[in-house]
Amino acid sequence: MSQPIIDAWIQHPTPDFLREPMFASLLRWMGMTEPPDAIPPEMTLMALDAAGIGRALVSAWVGPQGALLSNEAVAELVSAHPDRLSGVCSVDLRRPMDAVRTLRRWVGEGFVGVRVLPWLWELPPDHRLYYPVYAACVEAGVPFCLQVGHTGPLMPSGYGRPIPHLEQVAIDFPELVIVGGHIGAPWTEEMVFLARKFENVYIDTSAYRPSRYPTALVDFMKGRGRSKVLFGSNYPMLPPALCLGDLAGLGLDDEATRLFLHDNAARVFGLEGTT
């Protein structure tokens, strides 16, 4: 595919990360009984190459149990492959000022956003512990990324329901750029509603192949929402090539395709001029 592509959500996992008990369901879906003993960066780059992806946003993971994928590990990976990868940091919500300082540090070192997973913390995004992070995102000029919709891991899904939780955040922080990953299913229509209603709310399609996009999302991408949806894979849970394989079946025009695969992410994450 000659069209430049940015993947808005990947992880470079470690064996210990994949061995977390909550990921048992994901390993089962991937047909993996036991994670490999080592996962070299070249494996992730090969997956991106197979899909024709020029740049991917690599996420750190921090939860109540500490760093599952550390900001330092992401920084090392990005530093080794700056032409292919950009970092997305994560923070410890329990220590609000440390979270703000962490965000500022990594944005200062070139990270392009912050990601926090409500289901991992078992706290909805309108909980008070997030609010210092939102203010710091606005101040730093970077998006706040989160998972919306049901969970694949063995954790509760309700924290990912867009309305009322994420709607309240968008009301309280109109300047905050919010990227809701995993399309919000089974509440995708709620997520589309928020992206329509709020100028700075976006959707990324990570964890879904195009043939599984709900009709409401596809219609949004074809019409007035063509500037509000970003491509993502959620690698390694899904191979990026699989997430692009049936894209033609959506019936997007050339402009909508270009915006979806590259331009929206480039604008939202400040990556203009990258491929």
Share of the chain above pLDDT 90, in %: 86
Residue 63 pLDDT:
96
Which class does domain 6-268 fall in?
A: alpha beta
State pLDDT tens for residues 14-51. Answer: 888 888 877 777 777 777 777 777 789 999 999 999 99
Q: Is the pLDDT reported for residue 1 higher than 60?
A: no
State pLDDT tens for residues 168-211. Answer: 999 999 999 999 999 999 999 999 999 999 999 999 999 999 99
Looking only at the bridges linking them, the beta strands covering 6-10 and 55-59 are: parallel
Please, what's the b/e burial string for 160-181 (b: 16 or more CB within 10 A of its CB; e: otherwise)?
Answer: bbbeebbbebbeebeebbbbbb
Residue 103 pLDDT:
98
Q: Is the pLDDT reported for residue 215 higher than 70?
A: yes
Looking only at the bridges linking them, the beta strands covering 113-115 and 55-59 are: unpaired
Residue 191 pLDDT:
98
Q: Is the pLDDT reported for residue 274 higher than 80?
A: no
Q: Provide the 3-class DSSP secondary structure of residue 230.
A: strand
Q: Which amino acid is at 253?
A: D
pTM: 0.95
